[in-house]
Amino acid sequence: MTTTTDLPLLFLGQGADPASELGVQCPGELPPASDPDLVARAAAAKAALGDRVFVLGHHYQRDEVIQFADVTGDSFKLARDAAARPEAPYIVFCGVHFMAESADILTGDDQRVILPDLAAGCSMADMATFDQVEECWDVLTDLGIADRVVPVTYMNSSADIKAFVGRRDGVVCTSSNAERALGWAFERGEQVLFLPDQHLGRNTAVLEMGLSLEDCVVYNPHRPNGGLTDEQLRGAKMILWKGHCSVHGRFSKASVDEVRERVPGVNVLVHPECRHEVVTAADLVGSTEYIIKALDAAEPGSSWAIGTELNLVKRLAAAHPDKNVMFLDKTVCFCSTMNRIDLPHLVWTLEALVRGEVPNQITVDPETARHAKAALDRMLALP
């Protein structure tokens, strides 16, 4: 049976659907992916721009893009790297939308942050909209508990959400410092509203803060009162937003069991955005930077099943031919929005900059930026 839908079919990087994405537009010609000269064109445009352009590459980006990155890293490291290069007027952020927003907040007013494809959003960040979070806060206020709740948002959230948290004396965290951020929050309040990744919130609370699963409730923004009773909201230490990463959420306890059976002695290393039962079944858990360092320090001949995005796992396997590095899941698990940034979009962006045009600039309005920066600065000041 066929059904009709109002949702337009978007061609990569062209057209616009503001209702479902953050706006998708690449005016002019996008070079075809089959163009054999793309690598040479990217290299020539980057050389022509020289120090005027600084290209940031997130760990989950494609190899064809990473080869042109001046630095690689996770979202927070890249935003700080951009801030440390004030002499570069153009920051090309090969990552997703919330990362480019953070870079815009942390860089100077005269620096332009560019996202090569505006369709490169993040499904997790999209799971917490400003209106939904405001509504949640109204629920907590009506219950009389908002004063004792400290909001904490993961870096993987929109600038609007970071600003919401900043206005209410909360803090941003990354997957590396979530424990310290929660410790900071519990010194200032009795409860935490953790946005938008329930898994990072739960894993950190239970495995690192000594809380129990019963201390955590999940607030569903699509249900009245978050789908919770007043008693549940009052009694919870952690009010977890019902959001998740569509990439890390795919790993299962069954995939951990399967790899252990198949590869004796394998070390299972996963990202804390994975589900609780996956993290508890793994040997090690940590951020992308932690995963990279763990592989660097691993013994030759050791076996590693990695539960994170596939582009990074493939690069780790190539960088460590003396170790047996494999992907934790049997199915392909790229981040589809990260993958929207490809070589044609990078060439299109760099060549536009050479012509003096600034495409796809990401700007955060000054008021939002000010409050979001307050929450980011509190994170930077964490002990």
Q: Closer CB to ligand SF4, residue 74 or residue 81?
A: 74
Q: Closer CB to ligand SF4, residue 189 or residue 249?
A: 249
- Of 259, 224, 41, 25, the closest CA to residue 136 belongs to 224
Kindly state the tokens that stand for 56.
């940031």
* Residue partners of 180: CB distance under 8 A and separation at least 6: 173, 382, 383
Residue 349 Rama label (left phi>0; alpha psi -120 to 50; beta)? alpha
Q: How far apart are CA 295 and CA 304, in angstroms?
A: 8
- How far CA 132 is from CA of 82, 96, 373, in Å, comes to 31, 22, 21
**Sign of the C-alpha dihedral, residues 292, 318, 245, 8?**
positive
Mark the binding-site residues for iminosuccinate, compressed into ranges.
58, 75, 154-156, 175, 271-273, 288
Q: Closer CB to ligand SF4, residue 90 or residue 154?
A: 154
- Paired residues of 269 in beta bridges: 284, 306
Mark the binding-site residues, compressed into ranges.
58, 75, 122, 154-156, 175, 245, 271-273, 288, 335
Q: How far is the CB of 129 from ligand SF4 (least distance, A)?
A: 15
Q: Closer CB to ligand SF4, residue 4 or residue 331?
A: 331
Q: How far is the CB of 94 from ligand SF4 (least distance, A)?
A: 12
The identity of residue 332, as a single letter, is V
Residues that bind ligand SF4 (CB under 6 A): 60, 96, 122-124, 156, 245-247, 309, 335, 337-338
- Paired residues of 114 in beta bridges: 92, 361
DSSP state of 32: P
- Paired residues of 240 in beta bridges: 194, 218
Q: How far is the CB of 27 from ligand SF4 (least distance, A)?
A: 25
Q: How far is the CB of 51 from ligand SF4 (least distance, A)?
A: 29
Q: Closer CB to ligand SF4, residue 96 or residue 352?
A: 96
Mark the binding-site residues for [4Fe-4S] cluster, compressed into ranges.
122, 245, 335
Q: How far is the CB of 8 from ligand SF4 (least distance, A)?
A: 22
